[in-house]
């Protein structure tokens, strides 16, 4: 078990471009979370999945953001028409079941220029 | 709605002195509570967790936290700070049916 894996680790993109991030959770973890963290702030919740079902989305998740977990294993987070304000660290976490600790990946650092 | 308030944005201690990082939670029900640590350019690491068992919880690296329902608090302590403890610490609340809710974080500085 190698923990939660995120790819890529870093992404630089031009404003207006689309980007997609991937998260591979710990195997058999049925909960998967996406968070966004900006410099000097705590992680902000974006969305989470229970198996393949997306159960909750934050109001922070504008229409330009979409997340999927098609087979209940890995997940992707896509940002369309990126803006400079999207620059942040995007964190993925997984947990075995409700009420248990979540394990975080190293994150994908997005820079929009 | 649940929320977490970390009462200090920055705490400075000397090496060898006690550490106290304060956290208050707000929840309609008894939540699960966690402390995570984030070292510079590192991922979030779980320090300890409270899930309605013992109210005094011991974690890694000598840290512990006490759940006090009457005070809605979950403060993190360590008897003697080490230089390697310098990091960002997050108090996190987890209530069934929702996602993890993070506090804004407390930066711990340790001087020699």
Q: State mean pLDDT over A88-107.
A: 90
**Cα(A22)–Cα(A7) distance, rounded to whole angstroms?**
5
The residue among A10, A101, A108 with the most chain B CBs within 10 A of its CB, best to mutate, is A101
* Per-residue model confidence as pLDDT tens digits over B15-45: 999 999 999 998 767 788 999 999 988 889 9
* Per-residue model confidence as pLDDT tens digits over A61-86: 889 999 999 988 999 999 999 999 99
Confidence (pLDDT) at A29: 92
Inter-chain touch B94–A44, beta carbons under 8 Å: no
Q: What is the mean pLDDT of chain B?
A: 91
A-B CB pairs within 8 A amount to 46
Confidence (pLDDT) at B84: 95
Q: Residue B42: its chain A contacts at CB < 8 A? A: 106
Spatial CA neighbour of B41 closest among A19, A35, A12, A37: A37
The whole-angstrom distance between B33's CA and the closest CA on chain A is 9
The whole-angstrom distance between A79's CA and the closest CA on chain B is 21
Is residue A1's pLDDT more than 60? Answer: no
B44-50 and B101-102: which strand pairing? unpaired
Confidence (pLDDT) at B96: 67
DSSP assignment string, A80-92: SS--GGG-EEEEE
* More confident of the two residues A39 and A75: A75
Q: What is the mean pLDDT of chain A?
A: 93
* More confident of the two residues A17 and A41: A17
Which of A37-51, A72-86, B94-108: highest mean pLDDT? A72-86
């Amino acid at each position: 078990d190698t923990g939660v894996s995120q790819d890529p680790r870093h992404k630089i993109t031009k404003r207006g471009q689309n980007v997609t991030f991937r998260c591979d959770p710990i195997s058999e973890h049925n909960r998967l979370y996406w968070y966004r963290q900006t410099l000097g702030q705590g992680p902000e919740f974006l969305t989470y999945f229970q198996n393949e079902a997306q159960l909750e989305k934050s109001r922070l998740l504008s229409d330009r953001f979409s997340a999927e977990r098609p087979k209940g294993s890995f997940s992707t987070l896509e940002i369309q028409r990126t803006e400079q304000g999207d620059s942040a660290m995007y964190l993925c976490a997984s947990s075995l079941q409700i009420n248990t600790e979540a394990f975080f990946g190293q994150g994908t650092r997005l820079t929009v220029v | 709605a649940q929320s977490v308030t970390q009462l200090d944005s920055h705490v400075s201690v000397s090496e060898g002195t006690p550490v106290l990082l304060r956290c208050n939670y707000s929840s309609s029900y008894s939540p699960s509570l966690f402390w995570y640590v984030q070292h510079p350019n590192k991922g979030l690491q779980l320090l300890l967790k409270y899930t309605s068992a013992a109210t005094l919880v011991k974690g890694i690296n000598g840290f512990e936290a006490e759940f006090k329902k009457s005070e809605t608090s979950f403060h993190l302590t360590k008897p003697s700070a080490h230089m390697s403890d310098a990091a960002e610490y997050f108090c996190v609340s987890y209530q069934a049916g929702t996602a993890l809710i993070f506090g804004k974080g407390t930066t711990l500085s340790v001087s020699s």
